[in-house]
């Protein structure tokens, strides 16, 4: 089991010193990765179900923030949970991701993408809300094509994106393409993860039977539509910072390979205490690393 930690600027704040301290402590505790969420723009009345987003919530651009974090850390991997893929042009996004990966020496490795749930956010970025799934599928194909292409260039002719003999350098650090995980809470997201993703990160508000069904769909799509072993598909879930060993074992029994938790405290000192307690409970803490900055 791998353990990562998330940082949400609407909840934890936008102070750069706090973000760096949080990321460095997570790294020292032995967490695998730091995840950040994304919303590009909000508006009055924006809601998912019964939850309405206060329009003043301060969401950082996750990639810019992760680049900032990478410069202040040494080992921790960089993740998004989730990046709203249809609202980014894949040619530009491929360049940004490869740049961060090279500058961080191979740490932009837990990109998780989703479709977005706010129609107004789609309209603001010029994207038809109803076609955002097909657009995301193409975007994944475009990025992988660009990362793998050589000096002779690559061609693409799709519904949303088209180019001829396009070259993009530098390549990601030491790999032919960056891993792309798929997030979401729908059966379509699960199938997308199996067809095109390196992992599935389902949402938290799912009944156990639906959650199991979706993961079965993802694995079946990996085998039948992508022609690869379902065992290669990583399974990431959100967990609680105070979860017990028994709860982690239950996740493992369901095939979960990574758990992402988040500090619940608002005070930086208490946040670090929560992360340290979790790390000690699950033997993540390397005492040599932990003492490196104290």
Q: Using 50, 70 and 90 to split pLDDT, how confident is the model at 205? A: confident
| Sign of the dihedral defined by the CA atoms of residues 287, 174, 200, 80, in that order | positive
CA angle 185–191–194, rounded 5-degree value: 115
Higher pLDDT pick, 50 / 113? 113
Running DSSP on this structure, what letter comes out for residue 108? -
Contact by Cβ (8 Å): 91, 145? no
Per residue in 235-277, pLDDT (tens digit) is 999 999 999 999 999 999 999 999 999 999 999 999 999 999 9
- How far, in whole angstroms, is CA 62 from its chain's centroid? 10
Q: What is the DSSP string of 112-138?
A: EEE--S-HHHHHHTT--GGGHHHHHHH
The pLDDT value given to residue 90: 98
The pLDDT value given to residue 294: 38
114: Cβ–Cβ under 8 A, 6 or more apart, which residues? Answer: 82, 83, 84, 85, 182, 183, 184, 189
Which of 213, 231, 209, 235 lies closest to 222, judged by CA? 231
**For residues 206-225, average pLDDT:** 97
The per-residue pLDDT of the chain, averaged, comes to: 96
């Amino acid at each position: 089991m791998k353990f990562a930690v998330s940082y949400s600027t609407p909840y934890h704040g936008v102070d750069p010193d706090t973000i760096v301290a949080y990321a460095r402590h997570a790294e020292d505790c032995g967490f695998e990765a730091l995840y950040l969420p994304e919303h590009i723009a909000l508006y009055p009345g924006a809601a998912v179900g019964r939850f309405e987003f206060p329009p003043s919530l301060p969401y950082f651009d996750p990639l810019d923030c992760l680049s900032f974090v990478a410069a202040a850390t040494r080992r921790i991997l960089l993740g998004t949970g989730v990046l709203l893929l249809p609202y980014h042009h894949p040619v530009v996004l491929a360049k940004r991701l490869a740049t961060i990966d090279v500058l961080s020496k191979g740490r932009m490795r837990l990109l998780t993408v989703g479709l977005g749930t706010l129609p107004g956010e789609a309209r603001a970025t010029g994207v038809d809300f109803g076609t955002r799934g097909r657009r995301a599928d193409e975007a994944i194909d475009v990025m992988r094509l660009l990362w793998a292409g050589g000096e002779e260039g690559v061609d693409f002719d799709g519904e949303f994106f088209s180019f001829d003999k396009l070259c993009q350098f530098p390549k990601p650090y030491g790999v032919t393409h960056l891993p792309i995980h798929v997030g979401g809470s729908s059966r379509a997201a699960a199938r997308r993860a199996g067809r095109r993703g390196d992992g599935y990160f389902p949402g938290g508000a799912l009944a156990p039977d639906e959650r199991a069904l979706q993961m079965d769909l993802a694995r079946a799509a990996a085998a039948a539509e992508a022609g690869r072993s379902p065992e290669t598909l990583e399974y990431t879930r959100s967990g609680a910072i105070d979860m017990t060993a028994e709860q982690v074992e239950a996740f493992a029994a369901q095939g979960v390979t990574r758990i992402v938790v988040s500090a619940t405290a608002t005070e930086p000192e208490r946040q670090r205490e929560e992360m340290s307690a979790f790390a000690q409970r699950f033997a993540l803490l390397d005492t040599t690393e932990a003492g490196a900055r104290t």
